[in-house]
Amino acid sequence: MSRFAAPISEQIWDMKYRFKQADGTSIDQTVEDTWRRIARDLAQVEKDPDLWEDRFYAALEDFKYLPAGRITAGAGTARQVTLFNCFVMGTIPDSMGGIFDMLKEAALTMQQGGGIGYDFSTIRPKGAAVTGVAADASGPLSFMDVWDAMCRTIMSAGSRRGAMMATMRCDHPDIEDFITAKSDPARLRMFNVSVLVTDAFMEAVKADGPWELQFGGKVYHTVQARDLWNKIMQSTYDYAEPGVIFIDRINTANNLNYVETIAATNPCGEQPLPPYGACLLGSINLARLVTDPFEAGAALDQTALQDLVATAIRMMDNVVDASKFPLPEQAAEAQAKRRIGLGVTGLADALLMLGLRYGSNEAARQTERWLHAIARAAYLASVDLAREKGAFPLFDADGYLASGSMMAMDEDVRDAIREHGIRNALLTSIAPTGTISLYAGNVSSGIEPVFAYAYTRKVLQKDGSRTEEEVVDYAVQLWRDKFGDIDLPEHFVNAQTLAPSAHVRMQAAAQKWIDSSISKTINCPEDISFEDFKNVYMQAWDQGCKGCTTYRPNDVTGSVLTVSETADAAPGENAVSPHSIDGGEVVYMSEPLDRPQALEGSTYKLKWPDSEHAIYLTINDIVIGGRRRPFEVFINSKNMEHYAWTLALTRMISAVFRRGGDVSFVVEELKAVFDPRGGAWVQGKYIPSILAAIGGVIERHMVSIGFLEGEGMGLKSDPQAQVVNTDAPRGPACPSCGQYDMQMVEGCMTCRNCGHSKCQ
């Protein structure tokens, strides 16, 4: 019998986590092989590897403990990849040489699969004098553009694009330009951006006082704090960025504030880290630990929880020693502090099984109790590890126990730390778990509410046939199995029906026992007023959150997929049958379009430096609904060395074009290819490879026919929408699999089909 609770779970495992040879031959024959591979690798550093391998396997079995994707995919494969998810890079020097040294380090880190964060507050503002060269500084935003271009050329871990977070202090002179930078849809597409908000700034906002923008001791401008706050809020209201990070609160609470200062986070915000800081992630699947779900005696098995947390902490501590690192500075930082981030997933499902409505006061109290239990178990397990293996090298009892986070810890835990030390400086974090949650049976993600009770997806099979699959939330499926097709109880709520204040309440309850931070998106309705929207952030500040990320669907940000409900349905009513998405079924791939007898097109000549023969590209278009879109491409060259790959490109790109939809991802993929032998300068612009040059030609053609707005920009509209499905508005196309199933999950657009996210 399959261990997978749903077909999509097995598909995610096969696509993302199954160990395969380079030719696609599977080494992991079953998911049990995957669990065994991880357990064996992480047990190698133990004195009794066989004993711990079996214990680690038992924790992984049935998806109870879920290591983050990089561990699941990389452990035991002997591949040169990092098992750490999160990195914050070194402090950027305010000099040209230092800036580009940092750029090189970022490229090396992303090449191994790490998402990175950077604080750009250390670069002097635009217009400031540059000593010795009689010039003015170009400012941090210009260098962010350089980082963004670099990130486009790096395929993180072979299949993921690099993900980056940029932060800037609220008192930097260029903060206003930083706030609005992503209002240009073609700019900083590889970055998430967040403002580092200080306690003093929030006090000035509440008092409607002045606020000085300064750098290096020089005040450049003075503005009204509330005006600057409103500018942050307006940009976030319109464009879903920047996020807000309450940086003083983070540093005050930080267990390590006696040896480090934090000024940046990883791309999803759940890991505030110091320069060269690194953190690995993992999650306890709460949905698997509930006994007697939906019954009067339903409860979370506390003994099982404590045992599982202790084993997970040991596994994660071993990853510190088993993992490779892109840079020696990152390895040294990880070894000195042994920071880990254990979190949860399936929280909303577990609450449903206990009869609790997500977002209610009772659900918030239960969440706080569960996370308190996890924190206690994690800290005590780390103390036990310190007794066995030694405390982290930079441990100092007085400094550690004086931190804001540890001052709130239970006294018996503090006493144990004071006596024996602790193995890991920080232990808890709530990470985005979109992909691993699907892999674990479509449990609710992280501490997010259930997104949709059920939805349908059409899947292209290997034989060319198409099947329709229902993807059901884990708790909903348990309810069906237990009670059949009857209406869900009223306490079943999803992300579509929750008020923003309910999201904030849950985040604040969880934050009390999380020593790092939380990746959480507060979904806001499109018609929320600006004043109510601003109040969400004030609620987050007043309730003790370390940051706040919202998403309000609109014409600029795009709509997230929503569950259609009948107008007169009560919460949960009719929810056990498959739901449509936005009133129509999700269609993942259209039938290939038939080729007309004649097509209009253009032929382009591409001359690559040092190549004897030019390449000719012919791109033919089809007109649908009065709009032109690319339909096929022919790539030809007299150079016979080019024959095989140009023929392959011709066939593959044409096949993609004929499927319809937003095919602009083809351009993005080609332009991201870099040749290790070096690219070339073409018409004053550096092109990283001949394939990137081909991508540029196709992009310019798409712009010329009106399919794209401009270079590096997305579609004006989707001219294929009526052909693919006349009734179903869809999310944006996934750049990895091409399906129209991107949605906002924990602050990142994520594909529900393949799990692709730029933040992972």
Q: Which residues are catalytic?
A: 266, 268, 270
Tell me whether strands 278-285 and 340-345 are parallel, antiparallel or unpaired: parallel
Q: Which two tokens stand for residue 557?
A: 């940000």
- Do you find a cis peptide bond into 242, omega within 30 degrees of 0? yes
Instruction: Spell out the long-range contacts of 405-408 with Cβ–Cβ below 8 A and sequence spacing 24 or more.
Output: 405/253, 405/254, 405/255, 405/515, 406/255, 408/512
Radius of gyration of the chain (CA): 26
* Sequence letter at residue 502: A
Whether 666 and 653 have beta carbons less than 8 Å apart is answered as yes
Distance of alpha carbon 300 from the chain centroid: 28
H-state helical runs in 44-174: 49-60, 69-74, 96-111, 140-152
**Cα–Cα distance between 648 and 350 in angstroms, integer?**
49
Residue spans of beta strands (DSSP E) within 582-687: 600-606, 615-624, 627-637, 680-682, 685-687
Q: Which two tokens stand for residue 373?
A: 């239990």
Q: Which two tokens stand for residue 215?
A: 């750098």
Q: Which two tokens stand for residue 672?
A: 């991201």
Q: What are phi and psi of 116, to 5 degrees?
A: -130, 155
**Cα–Cα distance between 714 and 697 in angstroms, integer?**
16
Question: What's the half-sphere exposure (Cβ side, CA atoms, 13 Å) at 261?
Answer: 5
H or E element: which one contains 219? strand 218-224
Q: What are phi and psi of 751, to 5 degrees?
A: -90, 125
**Cα–Cα distance between 758 and 160 in angstroms, integer?**
7
- Is 107 exposed, middle or buried (CB count within 10 Å of its CB: 0-12, 13-18, 19+)? middle
Whether 359 and 499 have beta carbons less than 8 Å apart is answered as yes
Exposure b/e, 54-78, CB count within 10 A at least 16 = b: ebbbbbbbebbbbbbbbbbbbbbee
**Cα–Cα distance between 21 and 27 in angstroms, integer?**
7
Tell me whether strands 155-156 and 218-224 are parallel, antiparallel or unpaired: unpaired
CA distances from 688 to 617, 639, 670 (A): 19, 20, 10
Q: Which residues pair with 299 in a beta bridge?
A: 291
H or E element: which one contains 245? strand 243-246
- How many residues belong to the chain? 760
Q: Which residues pair with 91 in a beta bridge?
A: none
User: Nearest to residue 646, comparing CAs of 670, 630, 629?
Assistant: 670
**Cα–Cα distance between 508 and 545 in angstroms, integer?**
5
CB atoms within 10 A of CB 186: 12
Tell me whether strands 547-548 and 466-472 are parallel, antiparallel or unpaired: unpaired
3-state secondary structure 127-142: CCEECCCCEECCCHHH
Q: Which two tokens stand for residue 466?
A: 């198409």
Whether 392 and 338 have beta carbons less than 8 Å apart is answered as yes
Tell me whether strands 115-119 and 164-169 are parallel, antiparallel or unpaired: parallel
Residue spans of beta strands (DSSP E) within 658-758: 680-682, 685-687, 742-745, 748-751
Q: Which two tokens stand for residue 436?
A: 């691993």
User: Nearest to residue 637, comparing CAs of 608, 658, 665, 661?
Assistant: 608
